[in-house]
Structure 1
């Protein structure tokens, strides 16, 4: 499935992981799942990332979100490396599975290949890619970072909150939104519908165009 992107269904692949064999669709279940790749085990940025993901795991669990790591290293490498990851982030255990993809088949299916990064043998490495997969097994959001840039777990948590709020209400989250901030009402919702859907009220921003499309509310 080259080019996997938002709206695409994730292939129901069988994966070898640090917690045994899993199928992606079974693992996602009825909730959300963050599938995230890293270039290689025993590397500095990846160690900080997976340690921080372990630290944030309880927050994701509160939101019904599972975690699934992935790289092209084998399972035994992952298991040894986890000791370093946990040592770097004391008190945070890696409770999520990390999948092994030594043949590079999974990273190609999930569109997680970094064209600029290779190992010592000239094999392609995964990018710092991240897909948020919904209960319908479709990609809801994707992030793609180069090997040199570690991901921000506060931002990953924020986008999960945004996605789940948008799925529950007919709203979207504006720039720099954080949980507790006002949201905007979808343009597909008329003012009359908005009055029914948001009895707490909403505020329409007065714009030069006089078009009433920028409406804020709490949800």
Structure 2
């Protein structure tokens, strides 16, 4: 569908957003891009499409994907974080609140570790993100996916100052289980919580 739109109307910065069953033509994202054919990540990069993924969904999907998709398809096409980035695709991460917790710290940990509850090892460990990749997915890339990259996504002159104060100054603590929390939230430079 995207190739048809591009060939008919030319390449430009559209940022379509496709939800599971509907098309909203104001934004070029594939929403819930969590189970893909293995050749798909390269096509995302070629067409400039943003993959919007909710890392916390991986925690539930790891158990059910194999049953629903089969072991081969589930392990070659589920939550292809690294493959999407390697194919020059954009990866916008989010929570899908209220389905999942709105706090991005859990999603950052999940994107990096990929360890579902009661598992001892990562599900498809080759697709784990680094801390910087996960942070970019939740900030710059997520803002770009919604045409807000001029206003949000980084602490830069001229942008809104949306940020949090964490209970620690160590990213190691953030990644460790239950060892960091949000102490304060600022939106547009104004404290919104607590």
TM-score using structure 1 length = 0.27
Q: Which is richer in helix?
A: 2
Q: More strand per residue: 1 or 2?
A: 1
Structure possessing the higher radius of gyration over alpha carbons: 1
- Which of structures 1 and 2 has the larger relative contact order (alpha carbons within 8 angstroms, sep 6+)? 1
TM-score using structure 2 length: 0.29
